[in-house]
């Protein structure tokens, strides 16, 4: 078997360029063209973080990780050309480890992987947008899985190592974990554990530089032994690391081989696949190994391990990205808002970008576009159910690790919106009761969703206007005033939609003689608003006294 399709030279990464055109690029071309590439693409949005992390590892190994903001600036102050030259030299040295098909060391695979009976699986085993998994947004039919180009197969290989489902898998014939020809669930691949953030700006060059963090500033672990798989001895069919796995650093985690895979070629196309478990990676308190993930405090896990345990952020496709923003803000502000452990730890990559901004190493107009990616799995995490692919532009001073008052203001603003949305949901329930509808779960849910949609647009606009020298009480008052006006408008819409019957109302509690109609429901709502939006109503009261 001759080596075939080298990822260093052959185009396989879909890209969208700054001029609007689309195409594919090799690993080397992605770096060569990074200044004119807007972003990475792929069959699914989750391919972007999966591929970008590989690129960040290559950049870090070729150029070196920055030590601090000054060193970061020095690495790139001569332009992008020296970086490309360093990457070219690095990839040339390791080129033989990037063959998609190779008799001994295929990229991200094991050459002789296979079960005892030699059986293989169809390509649907690695293709995450096959209709049986994510029918809601696929345009793929079964015929597309009969043969696959090596370029597409390479993309799904990288995606599988990052996001593969859990469930029972057929083991390699040498895997000691097998029981009666099966390996029982070992969990999803690493990126499937939670939310992943990618810091973007204008071009791929910006994204590569910004996401290549200084370990001390991002508070992550690395060291001389923190090497990607193409710089280590090629792994065999069994787990490379002992259980529980202890990586040497975050570069290993970025290129983690959670699966053992073999692509089966027929001529120059891929037609079958062997997919087995590789190295499982426990998610408890791994924040020092992955600065691109969000991290939340887990009370049950903390009780179990008798120590503060942080877990990857929960992927929730129903939750708008601005509501997830609380998990991105500095840990110092999180601690100030909590009596116990902070509810979230700021992701290391955001802490690093905040440090760059604080050191004045970024353009004055710099406003990072932070992408949030994640997979929601089906029962037992055995299928794909939904994806998260959203982004939010964030003033960089909010990411400064020392930020406190500014970050607390934003945290409080999000809490304001959550509370008001709850009151609006209760208002919808009361409107339903005034029409004789007792089961009011749907009205509550729909009203809150409408509120979050309206609040989201307002929040994004409010956020972009914040400056480092903003007077924070005034900023929160402006936000509360916006919430109040948005809520009153939504409440009027809901009341009008309820019809004349709701305005008349009815007895909802015979025993206590309680009546409900639009006017009474509005009274409950506005009392809730006065309790929550104190700054907005305080200004009204002050104006009235004057």
The average pLDDT across 264-291 equals 97
Question: Residues 456-506: pLDDT tens digits?
Answer: 999 999 999 999 999 999 999 999 999 999 999 999 999 999 999 999 999
Per-residue pLDDT at 510: 74
Which DSSP letter does residue 315 get?
P
Per-residue pLDDT at 440: 63
Token pair in block for residue 149: 């180009």
pLDDT of 546 above 60: no
The average pLDDT across 429-446 equals 86
CA distance 34 to 41: 13
Per-residue pLDDT at 143: 77
In the numeric block, the tokens 């990618």 are attached to: 198
Question: Residues 501-541: pLDDT tens digits?
Answer: 999 999 888 777 799 999 999 999 999 999 999 999 986 65
Maximum Cα interatomic distance, the chain, rounded to a whole number of Å: 88
The average pLDDT across 282-307 equals 97
Per-residue pLDDT at 513: 78
The average pLDDT across 233-253 equals 94
Q: What confidence tier does 155 reach under pLDDT thresholds 50, 70, 90? A: very high
Inter-axis angle of helices 534-545 and 472-498, to 10 degrees?
100
Strands 506-509 vs 269-277: parallel, antiparallel or unpaired? unpaired
pLDDT of 335 above 90: no
Question: Residues 375-391: pLDDT tens digits?
Answer: 999 999 999 999 999 99
What average pLDDT does the structure give for the chain? 94
Contact of 366 with 201, CB cutoff 8 Å:
yes
CA-angle at 404, arms to 348 and 211, nearest 5°: 20
pLDDT of 545 above 50: no
Which DSSP letter does residue 113 get?
-
The average pLDDT across 133-159 equals 82
pLDDT of 405 above 80: yes
Question: Residues 44-102: pLDDT tens digits?
Answer: 999 999 999 999 999 999 999 999 999 999 999 999 999 999 999 999 999 999 999 99
What is the H or E stretch that residue 470 is in?
none
Q: Please list, residue by residue across 24-56, b when 16 or more beta carbons sit within 10 angstroms of its beta carbon and e when fewer do.
A: bbbbbbbbbbbbebbbbbbbbbbbbbbbbbbbb
CA distance 250 to 220: 7
pLDDT of 137 above 60: no
Per-residue pLDDT at 126: 95
């Amino acid at each position: 078997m001759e080596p075939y399709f080298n990822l260093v030279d052959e185009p396989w990464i879909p890209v969208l360029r700054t001029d609007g055109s689309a195409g594919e690029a090799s690993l080397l071309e992605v770096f060569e063209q990074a200044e004119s590439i807007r972003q990475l693409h792929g069959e699914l949005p989750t391919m972007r973080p999966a591929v970008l992390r590989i690129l960040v590892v290559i950049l870090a190994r070729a150029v070196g990780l920055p030590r601090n903001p000054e060193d970061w600036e020095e690495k790139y102050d001569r332009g992008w050309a020296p970086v490309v030259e360093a990457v070219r030299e690095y990839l040339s040295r390791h080129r033989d480890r990037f063959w998609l098909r190779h008799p001994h060391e295929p990229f991200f695979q094991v050459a002789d992987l296979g079960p005892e009976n030699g059986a293989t699986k169809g390509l649907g085993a690695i293709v995450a947008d096959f209709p049986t998994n994510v029918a809601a947004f696929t345009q793929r039919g079964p015929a597309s899985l009969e043969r696959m180009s090596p370029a597409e197969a390479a993309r799904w290989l990288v995606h599988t190592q990052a996001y593969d489902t859990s469930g029972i898998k057929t083991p390699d014939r040498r895997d000691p974990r097998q029981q009666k020809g099966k390996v029982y669930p070992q969990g999803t691949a690493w990126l499937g554990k939670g939310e992943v953030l990618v810091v973007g700006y204008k071009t791929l060059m910006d994204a590569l530089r910004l996401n290549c963090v200084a370990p001390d500033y991002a508070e992550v672990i690395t060291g001389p032994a923190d090497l990607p798989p193409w710089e280590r001895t090629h792994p065999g069919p069994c787990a490379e690391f002992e259980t529980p796995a202890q990586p040497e650093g975050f570069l290993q985690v970025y290129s983690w081989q959670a699966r053992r895979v073999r692509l089966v070629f027929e001529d120059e196309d891929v037609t079958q696949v062997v997919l087995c478990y590789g190295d499982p990676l426990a998610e408890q308190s791994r924040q020092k190994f992955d600065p691109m993930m969000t991290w939340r405090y887990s009370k049950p896990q903390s009780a179990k391990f008798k120590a503060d345990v942080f877990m990857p952020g929960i992927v929730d496709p129903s939750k708008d990205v601005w509501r997830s923003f609380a998990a991105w803000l500095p840990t110092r502000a999180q601690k100030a808002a909590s009596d116990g452990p902070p509810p979230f730890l700021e992701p290391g990559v955001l802490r690093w970008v905040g440090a760059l901004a604080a050191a004045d190493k970024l353009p004055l107009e710099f406003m990072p576009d932070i992408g949030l990616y994640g997979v929601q799995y089906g029962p037992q995490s055995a299928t794909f159910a939904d994806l998260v692919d959203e982004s939010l532009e964030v003033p960089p001073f909010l990411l400064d690790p020392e930020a406190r008052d500014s970050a607390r203001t934003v945290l409080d603003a999000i809490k304001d919106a959550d509370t008001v949305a709850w009151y609006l949901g209760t208002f919808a329930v009361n409107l339903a009761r005034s029409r004789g509808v007792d089961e009011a779960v749907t009205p509550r849910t729909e009203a809150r969703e409408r509120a979050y949609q309206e609040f989201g647009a307002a929040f994004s606009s409010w956020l972009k206007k914040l400056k480092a020298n903003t007077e924070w009480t005034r900023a929160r008052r402006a936000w509360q005033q916006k919430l109040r006006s948005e809520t009153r408008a939504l409440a009027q819409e809901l009341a009008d939609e309820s019809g004349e019957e709701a305005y008349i109302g009815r007895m909802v509690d015979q025993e206590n003689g309680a009546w409900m109609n639009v006017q009474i429901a509005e009274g409950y709502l506005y009392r809730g608003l006065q309790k929550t939006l104190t700054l907005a109503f305080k200004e009204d009261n002050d104006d009235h006294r004057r």
